[in-house]
Structure 1
Amino acid sequence: MTDARIDKGEYSFSTCWNIRRHTTGNGMIEEIASLGFRRVELNYNVTQELLSTIEPMIERGDIGVSSVHNTFPHDPDPDYGTDSVLLGFEDEVKRKRAIELLVNSAAYAHRYGAQAVVVHPGEVPFDYNIDNELKKIYHEQGRESEAYQKLWKEMLDRREDQAPRYIARIEQSLEEACEAIAAKGWKVSLGIETRSRCYQLPTLREASGIIDRLKGAPVGLWYDFGHATMMERMGLYDTLADMEYIRGKIAGIHIHETVGLSDHYCPYIHSGDMNYFDRFLPVIAEAPVKVYELKAACLPDEIHASHDIMLSKLQALEA
């Protein structure tokens, strides 16, 4: 039984927190509900087997679903995984398959009464994981080091040269997916997520441009605060300066904090910084779907404490 004193109201909670320590879907959802969450985001690692015991809970009204995370349910093919070209594939067969999978995710969202599908739209491909190498240099030598700046320029030059082609295909794919969703009459939005690797798409400004060009389509930004912080620290964009481009275009948010370049921590608690995360408070207030996306290391008491601090700050903001 959930303790009424810790009811989290409109806030939702991602299954990424505890999916690796459960073998049954209902056990996973019950643990989340015990934290006071009435709604969950079903992430991309949720399998059909886990759904077999989650779906009866949804049907009974034991839990609500705020959102599902594409590709949903879990698809083991890395071509359609969370770190792939996905909606930007040049290969038309692969691109069409990515659209089909996104529409299928939207079908599940509609079936569960969810408001949105979280989408990792794509990336500019590299021959190796240049983001990993950059983060290694960042930790060992610092962002201002010659080695970091040299490799960063190499990454950025290719990213800036290639991104328009991939973004154009992502826009086409999103438009086709939205047409299929509209034909079904589903009221589900697609949230294109800020990403955690520097060669991935979109930045805040890129997302704003995509949304503007798809005006009228149910596409918005899924603002992942942890990812945005990582990209800001690496040098890809300025969060405060670029945030204004996406105000009024938010489909949903992932709430978590970054310590160094490691994310999915409880805001305010794990960093010990009581000010940095405040920049996201206006976006939290605005967002129609608010989802905590925390790592397994976050303990219940830390989750409650973080939520309480954030709510008190939001209330002060509104006063």
Structure 2
Amino acid sequence: MEDKGMFSFSTCWNIKRHSIGSEMLREIRDLGFQRVELNYNVTKEMLETIEPMLERGEMGISSVHNTFPHVQDSDYGTDSVLLGFEDEEKRQRAIELLIGSAKYAQRYGGEAVVVHPGEVPFPNDISKELEQIYNGEGRDSNAYRSKWAELMERREAYSAGYVQKIIESLDEVCNRAVSEGINVRFGIETRSKPQQIPTLAEAKMIIKALKGAPVGIWYDTGHAIMMDRLGLYDSVGEMEGLMDDIVGVHIHETIGLSDHWCPYVNSGNMKFYDAYLPMIERARVKVYELKAACQPEEIDESHQLLMAKLARRGQV
């Protein structure tokens, strides 16, 4: 398949099929990608075979996804309070892990670290309940409106405290990065569950509070589409004021509330995803983050469509 240029590709697509890191990267290279994003499931054992490939220049790294490499402890997993922990020991541990991810990114020539900042914790899996009601009865149903009100009441009551903790943590991370000569950017990612931080308004608040620091938004297009559909924010309209702060993008489309599909090809809709092309244009780091179900020929077709659309906009 033809060279995909500076576009990168996340290992989330094939990591479950491989135990040997070099084989995982070679499969991605066969798709035409010269750069990869190493996601949070990449283990230290996988790095033993990946690092020689990087040293030989066989592949490049665009970014790594915190926490990297893989950490078994769910307290520091992708769906946790992470940088928002009130417990100081846990918060400091989260900071150390993020610094560690940044060191790996720099060591591998990466430009950025993808960061899940945190969430407002719930005693129940409210996002799962909302998804079930959304798929079964619809967003306009009384059941959905009632459950959504429950979510927003708790979210609005507690989010400010968690956002403040996240700001403090990122400030510490950036100060440490400067003092240790780490020159990568931190992209706070739009998330896939409505209790998770940030909303686009929260992202603006965090970035403004850290003005001058290497912190911006990592605009995950598929997650943003999901949050728009659930009613958390306007994924296109609320990007105003954030366009200059896009560190990177995760490129994938959402069908209903199912994400990580190839844009245009899997949905069959040739226009809907066009609204997210400006974000892709503005991002320095452009990463496809696709699920294992996406086939090589679909990935290639999706990329060709995306490139043609970007070319028509006068920029690639």
What TM-score, normalized by structure 2, do the two folds share? Answer: 0.99
Structure 2, unaligned runs of 5 or more:
none
**Structure-1 separation of matches of 2:246 and 2:234:** 18
Q: Structure 1: which amino acid aligns with 2:31?
A: L
What is the CA deviation profile of residues 155-176 of structure 1, one whole-angstrom value per residue up to 9, with x for unaligned ones? 0111111110000000000000
Partner of 1:14: 10
What is the CA deviation profile of residues 54-94 of structure 1, one whole-angstrom value per residue up to 9, with x for unaligned ones? 00001111000000000000001000000000000000000
Residue 23 of structure 1: CA displacement? 1.5
Partner of 1:201: 197
Partner of 1:134: 130
**Structure-1 separation of matches of 2:230 and 2:96:** 34
Partner of 1:107: 103
Matched residue SS, 1:223: strand
Partner of 2:210: 214
Structure 1 contact 205–245 (Cα < 8 Å) conserved: no
Q: Structure 2: which amino acid aligns with 1:272?
A: G
**Structure-1 separation of matches of 2:237 and 2:246:** 16
What is the CA deviation profile of residues 264-285 of structure 1, one whole-angstrom value per residue up to 9, with x for unaligned ones? 0000011111111001111111
- Give me the identity figure in percent: 60
Partner of 1:242: 238
Structure 1, unaligned runs of 5 or more:
none
**Structure-2 separation of matches of 1:243 and 1:90:** 29
Partner of 1:169: 165
Matched residue SS, 2:224: helix
**Structure-2 separation of matches of 1:274 and 1:237:** 23
**Structure-2 separation of matches of 1:246 and 1:208:** 7
1:251 correspondence with 2:247 = yes
Matched residue SS, 2:243: coil
Matched residue SS, 2:154: helix
1:119 correspondence with 2:115 = yes
2:27 counterpart (21, 24, 31): 31
Partner of 2:188: 192
Residue 208 of structure 1: CA displacement? 1.2
**Structure-1 separation of matches of 2:86 and 2:41:** 26
1:71 counterpart (60, 67, 83): 67
2:282 counterpart (277, 283, 286): 286
What is the CA deviation profile of residues 78-129 of structure 1, one whole-angstrom value per residue up to 9, with x for unaligned ones? 0000000000000000000000000000010010010000000000000011
Deviating 4+ runs (over 3 angstroms): none
Q: Structure 2: which amino acid aligns with 1:41?
A: E
Matched residue SS, 1:13: strand
1:97 correspondence with 2:113 = no
Matched residue SS, 1:304: helix
1:263 correspondence with 2:235 = no
Residue 250 of structure 1: CA displacement? 0.4
**Structure-2 separation of matches of 1:241 and 1:34:** 37
**Structure-2 separation of matches of 1:50 and 1:262:** 29
Q: Structure 2: which amino acid aligns with 1:105?
A: S
Matched residue SS, 1:211: helix
Deviates more, 1:277-286 or 1:259-268: 277-286
1:272 counterpart (253, 268, 271): 268
**Structure-1 separation of matches of 2:238 and 2:213:** 22
Matched residue SS, 1:49: helix
**Structure-2 separation of matches of 1:209 and 1:274:** 34
Matched residue SS, 2:228: helix
What is the CA deviation profile of residues 144-191 of structure 1, one whole-angstrom value per residue up to 9, with x for unaligned ones? 000000010010111111110000000000000011111111210000
**Structure-1 separation of matches of 2:313 and 2:200:** 24
What root-mean-square deviation, in Å, do the aligned CA atoms of Structure 1 and Structure 2 show?
Answer: 0.7
Matched residue SS, 2:54: helix
1:54 correspondence with 2:50 = yes
Deviates more, 1:97-106 or 1:243-252: 243-252
Structure 1 contact 207–221 (Cα < 8 Å) conserved: yes
1:159 correspondence with 2:159 = no
Aligned length: 315
Residue 245 of structure 1: CA displacement? 2.8
